[in-house]
Structure 1
Amino acid sequence: MTDNMIHWNLGADRIVVLTMDDPGKSANTMTEAFERSLRETVDRLEAERDTFDGVILTSAKDTFFAGGDLELLMNAGPDDVAMVSAGLDAYKASFRRLETLGKPVVAAINGTALGGGFEVALACHHRIALDKKGSQLGLPEVTLGVLPGAGGVTRVVRLIGVVPAVLNVVGQGQRMKPAKALQVGIIHAVAATADEMFAQARAWIAANPDAAQPWDVQGYKIPGGTPASPAFAANLPAFPANVRKQLKGAPMPAPAAVLAAAVEGSQVDLDTAFAIETRYCANLICGQVSTNMIKALFFDLNAINKGASRPAGIPERQAQKVAILGAGMMGAAIAYVSAVAGLPVVLRDVTVEAAERGKDYSRKILDKSVAKGRMTAEKRDEILGRILATGEIADTRGADLVIEAVFEDLELKKKVIAEIEQYAAADAVIATNTSALPLERLVGSVSRPKDLIGLHFFSPVDKMPLLEIISAETTSDETLARAMDFAFRIRKTPIVVQDVYAFYANRVIGAYADEALSMVAEGGHPASIEQAATQAGFPVGALTLMDEVNMKTTLKIRRGWQELDGFVDSLGGPVQDRMVEEFDRPGRLHGKGFYDYAADGTRLALWDGLFTEYYRPEVEIPFEDMKERLLFAGAVEAARCYEADIVGSAADANIGSIMGIGYPAWTGGALQFIDQYAGGTAGFVARADQLRDRYGRQFEVPEGLRAVAGAGDAYA
Structure 2
Amino acid sequence: MTEPHSASPDVVTLTQENGIALLTLNNPPVNALSTALRAGIVAALAEAAADPAIEAIVMTGAGRGFCAGADITEFGKPPREPFLPDVIAAIEAFPKPVVAAIHGPALGGGLEVALGAHARVAAPSAKMGLPEVKLGLIPGAGGTQRLPRLIGPAAAVKLIVSGEPVGGAEALKLGIVTEVAEDVVAAARALARQMIASGVAPVGLSSDAARLEAARAGRDAFEAAAAEVLKGARGAEAPAACVAAVRNSLDLDFEAGMKAERAAFLSLVAGDQSKALRHAFFAEKAAAKIDGLPADAVARPVRSVAVIGAGTMGGGIAMAFANAGYPVTLIETSAEALARGQGNIDKNYASTVARGRMSEAEKAERIARITGWLDLGAVASADLIVEAVFEDMGVKKTLMADLDRLAGPDAILATNTSYLDVNEIAAATSRPEAVVGMHFFSPANIMKLLEVVRAEKTAPDVLLAAVEVGRKLGKIPVVVGVCNGFVGNRILRAQRNDLEALLVEGASPAEVDAAWNGFGFPMGPFAMLDLAGLDISWRARKALGQTAEIADHLCEQGRFGQKTGRGFYRYEPGERKPLADSEVEDLAKAIAAREGITRRSIPAAEIVERLLYPMINEGARILEEGIAQRPGDIDVIWIFGYGFPAWRGGPMHAAGNIGLARIRDGLQARFEQSGRAEFKPAALLERLAADGGSFAG
TM-score, normalised with respect to structure 2: 0.91
**Aligned with residue 635 of structure 2, among 637, 642, 654:** 654
The match for 2:521 among 538, 550, 554 is 538
Any residues of structure 2 matched to 1:380-459 within 5 Å, and which?
A: 380-459=363-442
Structure 1 residue 246 and structure 2 residue 232: aligned?
yes
Question: Of 207, 218, 243, which residue of structure 2 is paired with 1:259?
Answer: 243
Instruction: Give the residue type in structure 2 aligned to 1:489.
Output: K
Query: Unpaired segments of 5 or more residues in structure 1?
Result: 77-82, 564-568
Map Cα deviations across residues 489-522 of structure 1 (whole Å, 9 max, x no partner). 2221111111211111001122223434432232
Q: What is the CA–CA distance in structure 2 between the aligned matches of 1:220 and 1:333, rounded to whole Å? A: 49
**Alpha-carbon separation, structure 2, partners of 1:309 and 1:544:** 40
Does the 8 A contact of 2:299 with 2:463 survive in 1?
Answer: no
Q: What CA deviation, in whole Å up to 9, does each residue of 1:539-586 have, x standing for no partner? A: 2111111112111101222343456xxxxx9xxx2222122124x321
Residue in 2 aligned with 1:547? 530
Work out whether residues 310 and 480 of structure 1, in 8 Å CA contact, stay in contact via their aligned partners in 2.
no
2:681 maps to which of 696, 701, 705: 701
> Secondary structure, in 3 states, of the residue corresponding to 1:606?
coil
TM-aligned CA deviation for residue 288 of structure 1: 1.9
Report SS of the residue matched to 1:654: helix
Offset at 1:138? 0.2
Q: Conserved in 1, the CA contact under 8 Å of 2:310 and 2:341?
A: yes
Superposition deviation, residue 305 in structure 1:
4.1
Q: Hey, what's the Cα distance between the residues in 2 that align with 1:608 and 1:166?
A: 45
Q: Does the aligned pair in 1 maintain the 2:140–2:261 contact within 8 Å?
A: yes
CA distance in 2, matches of 1:681, 1:557: 31
Determine if contact 2:151/2:211 at 8 Å carries over to the other structure: no
Q: In the TM superposition, what is the alpha-carbon distance from 1:319 to its structure 2 partner?
A: 1.6
Q: What is the CA–CA distance in structure 2 between the aligned matches of 1:308 and 1:51, rounded to whole Å?
A: 56
Q: 1:526 to 1:179 in 2, by over 3 A?
A: same
Change (3 A) 1:307 1:710: closer
1:599-649 CA-to-partner distances (Å, cap 9, x unmatched) read 334324233433444379961222222223323232222121111111122
d(CA) in 2 for partners of 1:649, 1:208? 60
Match of residue 657, structure 2, among 666, 676, 685: 676
Confirm or deny that 1:321 pairs with 2:304. yes
How far the C-alpha of 1:206 sits from its partner, in A, is 4.2
1:606-617 to structure 2, matched below 5 A, reads: 606-614=580-588
The verdict on how the C-alpha distance between 1:586 and 1:5 changes in structure 2, with shifts beyond 3 A counting, is same
Which residue of structure 1 aligns with residue 573 of structure 2? 599
Helix, strand or coil for the counterpart of 2:285?
Answer: helix
Q: CA deviation at 1:373?
A: 4.8
Matched, 1:578 2:553: yes
Aligned to 2:3: none
Match of 2:624 among 634, 638, 643: 643
Q: CA deviation at 1:272?
A: 0.6
Residue 713 in structure 1 maps to residue 693 in structure 2 = yes
Partner Cα separation in structure 2 for residue 546 and residue 437 of structure 1: 20
The letter for the 2-side match of 1:39 is V
Does structure 2 conserve the Cα–Cα contact (< 8 Å) formed by 1:326 and 1:348?
A: yes
Q: 1:37 aligns with which of 36, 40, 57?
A: 40
Quote the offset at 1:443 in angstroms.
3.3
Compute the displacement of 1:258 (Å): 0.9
Output aligned runs, 1:182-581, within 5 Å. 182-194=172-184, 196-206=186-196, 209-210=199-200, 211-217=202-208, 220-222=210-212, 224-226=214-216, 229=217, 231-232=218-219, 236=223, 245-248=231-234, 250=235, 252-296=236-280, 298-305=281-288, 312-561=295-544, 573-581=548-556
1:141 aligns with 2:132: yes
Change in CA separation of 1:233 and 1:355 when aligned onto 2, cut-off 3 Å? closer
2:664 is aligned with 1:685 = yes
Look up the match of 1:79.
none
Instruction: Give, in whole Å, the separation in 2 of the partners of 1:492 and 1:311.
Output: 24
Contact kept, 8 Å, 2:112 with 2:143, in 1: the verdict is yes
2:123 to 122, 130, 141: 130
Following the alignment from structure 2 to structure 1, what is the Cα–Cα distance between the partners of residues 123 and 210?
A: 29
- In terms of mean alpha carbon deviation, does 530-539 or 691-700 score higher? 691-700
Equivalent of 2:60 in 39, 58, 61: 58
Deviation at 1:434, TM superposition (A): 0.8
Tell me, yes or no, if the aligned pair for 2:291 and 2:629 is still in contact at 8 Å.
no
Amino acid at match of 1:69: D
Q: In 2, Cα distance between the equivalents of 1:309 and 1:268?
A: 56
Amino acid of the structure 2 residue aligned with 1:174: E
Structure 2 unaligned blocks of 5 or more:
1-5, 593-597
Shift of 1:65: 1.2
Change (3 A) 1:538 1:149: same
Q: Is the 1:3–1:37 contact (alpha carbons within 8 Å) kept by the matching residues of 2?
A: yes
Structure 2 residue 137 is matched with structure 1 residue 153: no
For residue 256 of structure 1, report the CA deviation from its aligned partner: 1.3
Change (3 A) 1:496 1:482: same
More deviation, 685-694/634-643? 685-694
The 3-state SS of whatever aligns with 1:165 is helix
Match of 1:176 among 133, 147, 166: 166
Provide the C-alpha distance between the structure 2 equivalents of 1:643 and 1:145, rounded to a whole number of angstroms: 31
Deviations along 1:390-428, one digit per CA (max 9) or x if unpaired, are 112232222221111111122222222222223210121
Distance in 2, matches of 1:33 and 1:685, equals: 46
State the secondary structure of the residue aligned to 1:421.
helix
SS in 2 for 1:626: helix
Amino acid at match of 1:700: K
Query: Aligned partners of 1:310, 1:401: CA distance in 2, in Å?
Result: 21
Query: Secondary structure in 1 aligned to 2:579?
Result: strand
Aligned residues: 682
Distance 1:109 1:293, change over 3 A: same
- Are 2:105 and 2:127, in contact at CA under 8 Å, matched by a contact in 1? yes
Partner of 1:625: 606
Distance 1:47 1:11 in 2: 13
Displacement after TM superposition at 1:6 (Å): 5.0
SS of structure 2 residue aligned to 1:16: strand
Aligned to 1:90: 83
SS at match of 1:402: strand
CA contact (8 A) 1:125 1:212 kept: yes
For residues 156 and 52 of structure 1, do their structure 2 counterparts lie closer, same or farther at Cα, with a shift above 3 Å needed?
A: same
Aligned-pair CA distance for 1:204? 4.8
| Cα displacement string for residues 209-245 of structure 1 (whole angstroms, at most 9, x for unaligned residues) | 533135524x73416523xx4x526984x67765664
Distance across 2 between alignment mates of 1:244 and 1:534: 16
Amino acid at match of 2:584: L
Task: Indicate the larger mover: 33-42 or 500-509.
Answer: 33-42
Amino acid at match of 2:376: I
The answer as to 2:650 corresponding to 1:666 is: no
What is the CA–CA distance in structure 2 between the aligned matches of 1:120 and 1:31, rounded to whole Å? 13
Q: Distance in 2 between matches of 1:255 and 1:116?
A: 18
Q: Percent identity?
A: 31
TM-score normalised to the size of structure 1? 0.88
Question: How big is the shift at 1:472?
Answer: 1.5
Q: Please state how far the C-alpha of 1:686 moved relative to its aligned partner.
A: 4.3
Instruction: State the one-letter code of the partner of 1:11.
Output: Q
Relative distance call for 1:636 and 1:283 in structure 2 (3 A) is same
Residue 31 of structure 2: aligned partner:
28
C-alpha RMSD of matched pairs (Å): 2.8
